[in-house]
Chains A and B, each alone.
Chain A
Amino acid sequence: MKKTVRIKINGKTYEAEEGESILSVCNRENIDIPNLCFNEALAPYGACRLCMVEVVNGPGKKGMTTSCTLEAVEGLEVVTDTEQIVKYRNVLFELYLAQAPNSEEIKEMAAKYGVTKTRFAKKAKPLDPLGNKCVLCGQCVRVCDEIMGTAAINYIGRGFHTKINTPYLEKNDACMGCGACAEVCPTGAIQMEDIYDKRIMKSWSGTEVKLKKCKSCGRYFAPEPIAEFAYAKLDPEIKEELKDLCPDCRRKLLSRKEILISQGEVSKNED
């Protein structure tokens, strides 16, 4: 059990677990801080620079820092919206609006903080697989690597030329088609589509993943590698029964089983 510490945010005292990120605390306490690269499930990354707060008191360094990487310690005191933070954040929003001009999510977020225009030329790469919506927050890369252990996509190049895609910009057979990348993307940049028996990762060089066909209803329901990935974790006996069933048929099967069990016709498998 971790120690509970008391911290001050905008003058008000809150309790937090020692070492917990200040951004987590703010999210929990409904203190509004914009952010793009933070995800509770992933290690803090500190790239989007939107979640800046100012440390006014505490054992460490004072001044502006990102709240996602700032850990709660006893006596820490931060302010979330000084004039300086707002000023710099607005410039960052302008940079984002120019970098990802097609992202509605970015426009909405920036507008919420009063930034509706950018003084910088908007990016307009005609064949951008991410539709000029990517802000390189890296959540997709990190979820693919840290959570799925796949690393099908990664950063390519560096600096202003950085992009995210599969190696050699070719279809990549490491991809399991789980779609976690699209799920975590904060700007709606990642495109994928299920067409008949295939999932096409449109943003990832058209990587194709075969879909599993339900042995009961015949519908294609999940990427094969994901199904195998999940089955591998199941109890062998349950696996045999549930394998190759789509979620609907699985549910039907289970509820049928429940009924049979309740009627005493099948003994519940408990050991």
Chain B
Amino acid sequence: MDKEKLQEIIDKYDTESGKLLGILEDIQRTEGYLPKDSLIYVSKHLNVPLSKLYSLATFYSFFNLQPVGKHIITVCMGTACHVKGAPHILETIEELLGISPGETTSNGKFMLTTSDKQFTVNTARCFGACSMAPVIRVDGKIYGYNTPKKVAEILKKYGWRGK
């Protein structure tokens, strides 16, 4: 991430409250993840040990440390979604995109990216759109009342060309 933009983000925060997380969130929103050199830059400019930033980045599930695909698909794993079949929806998406669950990242976060870097699949603990369960979110847009069939149609909208 370029230094000017980074500095701009840092300068936006004029008080300590909410600052560190705010900066990290802004970086992630811009880049899709937290690049290592950005964390090092923030560490130096705010005089915060790198270990503290890394600790924050791995504690909060909002952050990714790896680059993500072009489209991010988030499957809601809330209670309402769970009882209405969210695990099956997740499985369907994995199967359609040809990615296997395999290993989650070492800090226990679930995140998978297709080999062509078009899609990243992750999960969330609840979007609060429970009335439309099961719910998924693609690039910020929420889709409700999902079925395995419907999911395939949604993926097509984002350039998925079938198995």
Contacts and interface: CB of A to CB of B under 8 A. Distances in A.
Bound pair (A, B): yes
Interface residues of A, number: 18
A122 B50 CA distance: 32
Interface in B2-42: 36, 39
A150 B49 contact: yes
Interface stretch (B53-61, B114-122, B146-154): B53-61
In which size bucket is the chain B interface?
10 to 19
Given A155-B59, A157-B59, A158-B59, A172 B107 contact: no
Contacts of A156: 54-55, 58, 107
A245 interface: no
A137 B53 CA distance: 20
Contacts of A153: 51
B52 interface: yes
B51 A167 contact: yes
A184 interface: no
Given A167-B50, A168-B36, A174-B50, A154 B106 contact: no
B2 to A, nearest CB: 21
B159 interface: no
Nearest to A165: B51
A161 B61 CA distance: 12
A160 interface: yes
Nearest to B39: A167
A172 B40 CA distance: 12
Given A157-B106, A157-B107, A161-B107, A151 B58 contact: no
Q: Which 8 A-B pairs have the closest CB atoms?
A: A157-B107, A167-B54, A161-B108, A151-B49, A154-B51, A154-B55, A167-B50, A157-B58
Interface of A: 145, 150-161, 166-168, 172, 174
